[in-house]
Amino acid sequence: MSFLTSVLDHLKSFWTENLLPAAKTLIRKTRKEEPLRLPAPFTPDEDADTKQYEAHPSSAYMMLKMIFRDIGRYNAVIETLGRDFLTAMPKGAYKSRLGQIGFLHRRRHEEVANPQVAAFIEEAHAHEKSSPESWDEWDHANLREIEILYRHHCQVDPELIERRARLGYEGRRVHRDVMRNNDWDTARPFLEDMIDLTRRIAESKCLRDNEHDTESPYQALMREYIPGFRIADIETLFGQMTKKLDDLLPQILDKQAKEDAPIPLKGPFPETQQMWLNETLLRAIGFDFSRGGLYETGFNPVEGGTPEDTHLVIKSVNESNFLISMKSTLHEGGHGLYVQGLPRDVWRYQPVGHDMGNAWHESQALMIEMILGRRREFFEYLAPRVEGLFQKFGDPSMSAENLYKLKTRVRKTADRKTADEVTYFHHINLRFELERKLFSGALEVKDLPEAWDAQMDKTFGDMPESSCMGCLQDVHWFVGKFGYFPSYALGHMIAAQLYTVMRKDIQNIPELLSEGNLIPVRDWLNHKVHKQGRLRRPGALIEEITGGPLTPAPLLAHFEERYLHSV
C-alpha cells in the first residue's frame, strides 16, 4: 500500500508540475474558440502500474492518454446505458433516455474532436521523432490510434452525432416493432431519415479529411466499422468468393439432395432449460460471468460493453427449437470472448487497447458459432446432454448425427439469420451491393423492397416469399450501421484463415470439442488476437498470425472439406 502511495504521489506531482502547466499553455495559445475540458488527474484508486498511467517524457502524449481515458469512460457509461435500455429501463423512461444518450455522445465527441487534441497529437509526433528511444511499439500504436480516432471525429458536427445516437436507439425499437407487424409503412420514412442523417455524417467525413479526400461517402462510413479495408479490396475478395461459390454451391446442394433429410426437432424446449444451456455453453467457451452476462430480451441480438461488463443480448428464446437461441449465444459469446480478452489490465481505456474493428470482431463470433460450433464432434458432446436436459431420451431428432445435419444443411433461404454457412456470403454480398446503391443515389428507399427481392431472385433463383419482408430483417440499417455488413463475410474469411493455424497449434481440437472444452481455443484466440488490441493494423495482424494476407481460399477449402468431402 505504501509503495502504491508513493507511486501515486510521484505521478501526481509529475502531473501537477509538468503536465498541467503544459496543457494550460497550449490552451492559452490556441486561437480556436472551442474550450478543452482538462482531463482529471490521477485518481488514487486507479491502478498506477498500468501503461495508461505510466509516466512518459512527452507531456503532450501524457495529456492525450488522460483525455482518452476520459473518452473511454464516456464509452463505458454509454455501453451501460445501452445494456440498461435493452434489459431494465422502464418504458416510461424511453424518451428522456434518448436525450441522455444523445447528450453523452455529444460530450464524448466534443472531447475527441477538440482542435487542441490535434495540437497534442502534433507535439507528441514531434517527440516521437526526436526521442524515438522513449516510444515502444505499443506507444507508437496508441498514438497512431488516437490520431485515427481524432480524424474520424474531427470534421463532424456534434449535432449530427447527437442526432444519430438518438435515432439509432429509436431505430432499435422501431425495428423490433416493424418486424412484429411486417410494417413497411413505418419503416420507410424512418430509414429515409436515417439514411439522410448518415449521408450528412459521411459527407462531412469524406469531403473535408485531407488524407481521404478521394473516398466516397460509403467508404467514409465503412472506415468506422472496418478499418484497414477499402471498397476495392472487398470487391476483389468478394469477387473471388462469388466465382468459386458458383461452382461449389450446386455441387453441395446436389450431394445433400441425395442424402436423407434431417429430422425436424420436436418441442417444446422450455425457456428455463434453454437459458441454462446457453449459460453453460458460454462457461464452456470461457466467458467470464463475473465480468458480464447473458440477457434474453425482445430485441435483436447484440453484444457490447467493456471487458469488465460485457453484455450478450439475445432475442426471446423460441420454445420449438433450442438451436436458435443456442446459435445466437455462441455467436455473441465469440464476440464476448474478444471483448473480455482485450488488454484492459494494462492499457485500460487507451485506443490501442480497443478491438480491431468489426471484421475481426465477427471473425471471433463466427469462429465459435460456425467454424467450431458446427463441427460433428461438438454435437457428439451436446446430443446426449440435451436429450437429458430436455427430457427427450431416445428421440432420434436429438442424435448427434441429426443435430449436425440440421446445422449443416445448405438451403437457399430468404433469411440471413437462419442461413447456412455456405450461402451466408450471398446474404452479405446482397446487402453490400444495396447499401452502396442507397448511398450513391442509385437506389431510393421507396424502391428497396423490390430491389431486394429482385437481387434475391437473381442470386438464388426463384425464391419462396419470405415470412417477413426481406429488407426489414436486419437491425443494422435501423441503428445507422451502413458500411457494417461486409464485416460478416470478411470475418468468416478471417476465421477460416486463423483456423488453418489454430488446428496446427492445437492438434486435438476434435477431442476437445467432443469433451465440451473450448478453453484451449479461447486461450489461443486470446493470445493471438484479443490481447493484441490495436497494436497492429488489421492487415498486418492477419499476416503476422497466418504468414500471408487475407484470402478467401481457406474459407472455400473449409466449405469443400465440410460440405463435399466429409461423409
Residue ranges in 115-174 that form contacts with a second copy under rule CB under 8 A: 158-159, 162-163, 166, 170
Whether the CB-CB separation of 115 and 150 falls below 8 Å is answered with no
CA distances to 194, 379, 383, 387, 509 from 271, in Å:
35, 21, 18, 15, 31
Exactly one of 7, 22, 89, 557 binds a second copy (CB under 8 A); that residue is 89
* 565 DSSP 8-state letter: I
The strand pairing partners of 314, in sequence order, are 296
Q: Which three cell numbers stand for residue 345?
A: 489490465
- x/- map, 355-394, a second copy, by CB under 8 A: ----------------------------------------
Segment near a second copy (CB under 8 A); pick from 58-66, 102-110, 397-405, 420-428: 102-110
Which residue lies nearer to a second copy by CB, 47 or 544? Answer: 47
Q: Is 480 left (phi over 0), alpha (psi -120 to 50) or beta?
A: left
Segment near a second copy (CB under 8 A); pick from 74-82, 246-254, 271-279, 386-394: 74-82
Q: Which of 27, 86, 65, 257 is nearest to 145 (CA)?
A: 65
* The Cα angle at residue 320 between residues 316 and 325, in degrees rounded to 5: 40
Is residue 272 within the footprint of a second copy (CB under 8 A)? no
Exactly one of 107, 140, 266, 412 binds a second copy (CB under 8 A); that residue is 107
Whether the CB-CB separation of 366 and 491 falls below 8 Å is answered with yes
Whether the CB-CB separation of 559 and 241 falls below 8 Å is answered with no
In angstroms, the CA 385 to CA 205 distance is 52
Which residue lies nearer to a second copy by CB, 92 or 394? Answer: 92
Q: Which of 419, 533, 424, 439 is nearest to 481 (CA)?
A: 439
* Shortest Cβ 89–a second copy spacing (Å): 7
Whether the CB-CB separation of 122 and 189 falls below 8 Å is answered with no
Segment near a second copy (CB under 8 A); pick from 147-155, 282-290, 360-368, 427-435: 282-290
* Shortest Cβ 334–a second copy spacing (Å): 19
In angstroms, the CA 294 to CA 278 distance is 8
Exactly one of 16, 103, 236, 250 binds a second copy (CB under 8 A); that residue is 103
* Shortest Cβ 92–a second copy spacing (Å): 4
Q: Quickly count: other Cβ atoms within 10 Å of residue 115's Cβ.
A: 14
- x/- map, 294-313, a second copy, by CB under 8 A: ------------x-xx----
* 474 DSSP 8-state letter: -
In angstroms, the CA 48 to CA 45 distance is 8
Which residue lies nearer to a second copy by CB, 97 or 376? Answer: 97
Q: Which of 349, 379, 266, 301 is nearest to 86 (CA)?
A: 301
Q: Any idea of the CA torsion for 559, 564, 565, 567, to the nearest 10 degrees?
A: 120
Which residue lies nearer to a second copy by CB, 97 or 375? Answer: 97
Segment near a second copy (CB under 8 A); pick from 14-22, 71-79, 208-216, 273-281: 71-79
Where would I find the H helices in 226-321?
A: 231-258, 271-284
Which residue lies nearer to a second copy by CB, 287 or 524? Answer: 287
Residue ranges in 166-205 that form contacts with a second copy under rule CB under 8 A: 166, 170
Exactly one of 7, 20, 76, 323 binds a second copy (CB under 8 A); that residue is 76
Q: Quickly count: other Cβ atoms within 10 Å of residue 548's Cβ.
A: 11
In angstroms, the CA 389 to CA 327 distance is 17
* Shortest Cβ 84–a second copy spacing (Å): 6
* Shortest Cβ 87–a second copy spacing (Å): 7
Is residue 95 within the footprint of a second copy (CB under 8 A)? yes
Residue ranges in 20-49 that form contacts with a second copy under rule CB under 8 A: 24, 27-28, 33, 35-37, 40-41, 43-46
Is residue 104 within the footprint of a second copy (CB under 8 A)? yes
Q: Which three cell numbers stand for residue 191?
A: 430509414
Rg of the chain over Cα atoms, rounded to whole angstroms, equals 24
Exactly one of 7, 77, 284, 501 binds a second copy (CB under 8 A); that residue is 77
Segment near a second copy (CB under 8 A); pick from 286-294, 398-406, 452-460, 487-495: 286-294
What 3-state DSSP class applies to 301?
coil
Segment near a second copy (CB under 8 A); pick from 54-62, 104-112, 233-241, 275-283: 104-112
Note the residues at the interface with a second copy (CB under 8 A): 24, 27-28, 33, 35-37, 40-41, 43-46, 70, 73, 76-77, 80-81, 83-84, 87-93, 95-100, 102-104, 106-107, 110, 158-159, 162-163, 166, 170, 288-293, 306, 308-309
